[in-house]
Amino acid sequence: MWSGIRGAEKVQLLKSLCVDHVVDLGNENVTESVKKFLQTRRLKGVDVLYDPVGGKLTKESLRLLKWGANILIIGFASGEIPVIPVNIALVKVW
C-alpha cells in the first residue's frame, strides 16, 4: 500500500502506521516514486486506487494502475474534478 500526503509530520505518522510506501506530495513526483517502489517489489502496477483528492493527481495515479485495477473516487479535495482520458484505461502506459 502506498499513500500520498503533504508534510513531514504526516509522512512520519503514516510510516509509523506501517504504510509500505509514503509519497510527500509537496516534495516528490508521485509517478516516479511509486514506479520505483513497484519495481523494487516486482509488481506490475497498483491494484486499487482510492482517491479523495481529484484533479491532476487522479490523472497521474491512473498511469500507475495495472490492467483490471479498481478505482474508487470519493471526492475532490483539490477542488478540481479530474478529466480522465479514456486512452489511459485502454493502453498500458509504462
Mind listing the pLDDT tens digit for each residue in 36-68? Answer: 999 999 999 999 888 888 888 888 888 898 888
Cβ-contact 88, 82 below 8 angstroms: no
Average pLDDT over residues 74-82: 87
Across the chain, mean pLDDT equals 85
Q: What is the pLDDT of residue 7?
A: 85
pLDDT at 82 over 60: yes
Domains of the chain, by residue range, sit at 1-43, 45-94
Q: Is the dihedral of CA 71, 74, 85, 35 positive or negative?
A: negative
66-75, long-range: CB < 8 A, 24+ apart: 67/92, 69/45, 72/48, 74/50
Model's pTM, two decimal places? 0.76
Confidence of residue 32 (pLDDT cuts 50, 70, 90): very high
